[in-house]
Amino acid sequence: MIGIVDYRAGNLTSVARALEHLRQPCIMSNDFKSLEKADRIIFPGVGAAGAAMADLRRSGLEVHLKKWVREGRPVLGICLGMQVLFDRSEEDNTLCLGIVPGEVKRFPADLRDKDRPLKIPHMGWNGVRFRANHPVFSGISEEAEFYFVHSYYADLTDETWASGWTDYGIRFCVAVTRGSLVAVQFHPEKSGRPGLTLLANFCRWGGCDAQ
């Protein structure tokens, strides 16, 4: 059983639909007691970091998310669900979960590709260079692209957590892995077949890192 953390950060039903398509039973809940029964956790999210963290604190999920990661339960963070794992975010100047070392920063306003100004948010399909050998990213072609929509990016202070990178004016980390934790900036549930492969890999994964 997969538990989808529902903390009122956007519409999370698309993750549930993708899991249904993969025939993976799941529950969507904001109650840590219900999620406690799940053998793995997906932590999605769209929206603003400040409101998301406030809701995680209010519901008691903050403590339990940290506990699940510590205990080695497989956890997959997606988009805002990846960003709030960091120490802090420039968005609403938010103190976050502090599980991943680093800070979430806004894309610089003068982001450019050579002479061409780039639009923010970074929205659409972009390639990802994955570090080899992680089970959750196995079977995904190097040519695969993923669907992104975000205005803030993750800036790690310890690069050993990084497992995937993307270029958009700057090069930034879009996947982190450590132990039983995996988090991605893009939306696997909206990224066609490569995204479904990633989700299916996560559903099968025992939680031990290949490092």
Asked if 10 touches other proteins (CB under 8 A), the answer is yes
**1: which 2 tokens?**
């059983």
Tell me how far apart the alpha carbons of residues 74 and 42 are, in angstroms, rounded to a whole number: 9
Among 132, 143, 159, 206, indicate the residue that binds other proteins (CB under 8 A).
Answer: 143
Closest CA to 211 of 134, 137, 143, 115: 134
Q: Does 92 bind other proteins (CB under 8 A)?
A: no
Separation CA 162–CA 202 (nearest Å): 17
38 binds other proteins (CB under 8 A): no
Identified catalytic residue from 79, 96, 173, 203: 79
Kindly state whether residue 203 participates in binding other proteins, applying the rule CB under 8 A: no
d(CA 163, CA 118): 25
Site for other proteins in 109-128 (CB under 8 A): 113, 119-126
**What one-character DSSP code corresponds to residue 187?**
B
Question: For binding to other proteins (CB under 8 A), which residues are involved?
Answer: 10-11, 13-14, 17-18, 20-21, 46-47, 113, 119-126, 141, 143-145, 147, 149, 167-168, 189-196
> Which residues are marked as active site?
79, 187, 189
